[in-house]
Amino acid sequence: MSKSNPILAGSAQSIEAYQQAIAQSSEAVAQWLQQPEMYQGKTVAELRERIQLDFNPQGLGNQAAIERAVEYFLQDSLAVHHPQCVAHLHCPSLVVSQAAEVLINATNQSMDSWDQSPSATIIEMKLVEWLRERVGYQPGDAGVFTSGGTQSNLMGLMLARDAFFARQGHSVQQDGLIGDLRKIKVFCSANAHFSVQKNMALLGFGYQCVTQVKTDERARMDLNDLAEKVAQAHANGEQIMAIVATAGTTDAGAIDPLRDIAQIAAQHQIWLHVDAAWGGALLLSEQYRHYLDGIELVDSITLDFHKQFFQTISCGAFLLKEARHYELMRYQAAYLNSEFDEAQGVPNLVSKSLQTTRRFDALKLWMGLEALGQQQYAEIIDHGITLSQQVAEYVNAQPTLELVMQPQLASVLFRSRPAQLADDAAVALLNQRIGDNLLESGQANVGVTEFNGVTCLKLTLLNPTVTLDDVKRLLDLVDSAAQGLANA
Ligand SMILES: *Cc1c(COP(=O)(O)O)cnc(C)c1O
């Protein structure tokens, strides 16, 4: 080989190349973090034009490849840590999460079998036990880390489906779907995450099987409507395969009444899954843990650590109340999870996951808990919720702004409402354009969404370093953008 060996390994030459590449990358990140702009403001067309894949057949070497990544990727990245970057449930990350990524990536363990990730498998299993304890589940290790909320919701719905058919003596894993599928329904609130629909399509039922339950004035599942729709379904000869409750809806941060829903589900023997992708962070909260009252009663849970647990993407988990339900997705392969190994007590996580090769994302949560301690973790989680309440009060006091919804978690829904605009459609269009205008200017990324038919702006205030003053500055930007657009 004429070039240096490109593989990470134990030779002095490889280690030196590794350290150089990491130092160069980390230096570039340090520079980038100091840029004042949230985004450099390039448009879609500009980026398409700028980014060209003209690979050099001889290769450029590591150093030049990194330089080009800095120029074409890093410089035009969105600064998710910027105080005015608040459009989505997209968190700034913990420093220790970055260190964890170095270890995860360099070791490249794969979580499917113990012989590919010995210590990592045990750490992940113990973390699942720990998370179960926080939930209030029985001791055990039924659960697994996932790529995020969408996959965790898929696991919950898949096991709900298979348990539903198993009660009728049928194995979906063996024999596929049978019967009149149009008579089988899944219930969730109108504010549930769209992955419920997408996952039900994937599971063979189509969007049509999803019945949306009405929500109350705080965007939570309405219990009366749930009870009515359950009765109605039964009167129509339909069966309900699962209810998906949400703990922290993506816009309003609403938490469905878990204990009451669990009671209805138990009464009718319906699988209850809770999508706690966002609200699951309250498991660590000191002030707000009680919002999750009843979560210990549900059959399965989605948690997402790349939301308000401040981990880098990706990092999520799925928890299953009763380990026996994992039997529904059992598939043994001699090369990964053989009966021989299992009889000897060798753990393998492939049996608990939809993925085979899988990253050791659990290390990030483990190191986060070690570095911060439960107390500091609780503080940074609670910060966003408390700040959102203060921001709502401030918005209420501004003549040009209107609060659309009282905050429940760390989000504020509001809209700009300049006095000269009376027409509702014009107000809606204005708010839509404020969002685009701010991102184009590179100054701020504010969410635009619709709530109860009202087009509004959304601040997702996850960032624990953001203060009320930062948000006031952002609201000033919203005001100036609104004035500029209204007068244009
Ligand atoms: C973010 C989110 C999801 C999806 O999670 P991903 O990690 O993006 O797959 C699901 N449900 C809720 C309520 C969410 O906020």
**Structural domain contains residue 282:** yes
Block means of pLDDT (10 residues each) for the chain, 488 residues, are 80 96 98 93 94 94 97 96 93 97 98 95 98 98 98 98 96 95 97 97 98 96 98 97 97 97 98 98 96 98 98 98 94 78 87 96 98 96 97 96 96 92 89 92 92 94 96 96 87
307 and 428: one domain?
A: no
Q: What is the domain range of residue 257?
A: 110-359
Report the number of secondary-structure helices (H) and strands (E) in the chain: 14, 11
**Structural domain contains residue 347:** yes
Which tokens in the block code for residue 132?
């179960």
Contact 446, 434 (CB under 8 A): yes
Contact 388, 409 (CB under 8 A): yes
Which of 151, 154, 256, 278 has most ligand 1 atoms within 8 Å of CB, for mutation?
A: 278
Name the β-bridge partners of 302.
275, 318
Ligand 1 centroid from CA 310, angstroms: 14
279 and 385: one domain?
A: no
Q: Of 359, 389, 404, at which residue does a domain stop?
A: 359
145 and 260: one domain?
A: yes
313 and 404: one domain?
A: no
**Structural domain contains residue 267:** yes
343 and 412: one domain?
A: no
The residue count for the chain: 488
**Structural domain contains residue 176:** yes
**Structural domain contains residue 66:** no
**Structural domain contains residue 39:** no
Ligand 1 centroid from CA 244, angstroms: 13
**Structural domain contains residue 1:** no
339 and 373: one domain?
A: no
CA proximity to 234, closest of 204, 264, 257: 264
235 and 335: one domain?
A: yes
323 and 403: one domain?
A: no
Ligand 1 centroid from CA 170, angstroms: 31
210 and 321: one domain?
A: yes
**Structural domain contains residue 170:** yes
Ligand 1 atom, smallest distance to 306 CA = 7
Ligand 1 atom, smallest distance to 278 CA = 15
Which tokens in the block code for residue 321?
């109340």
Q: Of 359, 383, 409, at which residue does a domain stop?
A: 359
CA 244/CA 261 separation, integer angstroms = 10
For residue 1, the model assigns a pLDDT of 41
CA 218/CA 405 separation, integer angstroms = 7
For residue 405, the model assigns a pLDDT of 94
Please give the helix or strand (H or E) that residue 431 lies within, else none. helix 424-441
Phi, psi (rounded to 5 degrees) for 211: -100, 125
Ligand 1 atom, smallest distance to 276 CA = 13
Contact 379, 387 (CB under 8 A): no
354 and 477: one domain?
A: no
CA 177/CA 202 separation, integer angstroms = 12
388 and 340: one domain?
A: no
395 and 336: one domain?
A: no
Q: Of 301, 333, 359, at which residue does a domain stop?
A: 359
For residue 297, the model assigns a pLDDT of 98
Omega cis (within 30) before 113:
no
We report the CATH number of the domain holding residue 424 as 3.90.1150.170
Hunting for tokens 């023997």 — which residue is that? 269
Contact 463, 411 (CB under 8 A): no
pLDDT in tens, 388-421: 999 999 999 999 999 999 999 999 999 999 888 8
Q: How many separate domains does the chain show?
A: 2
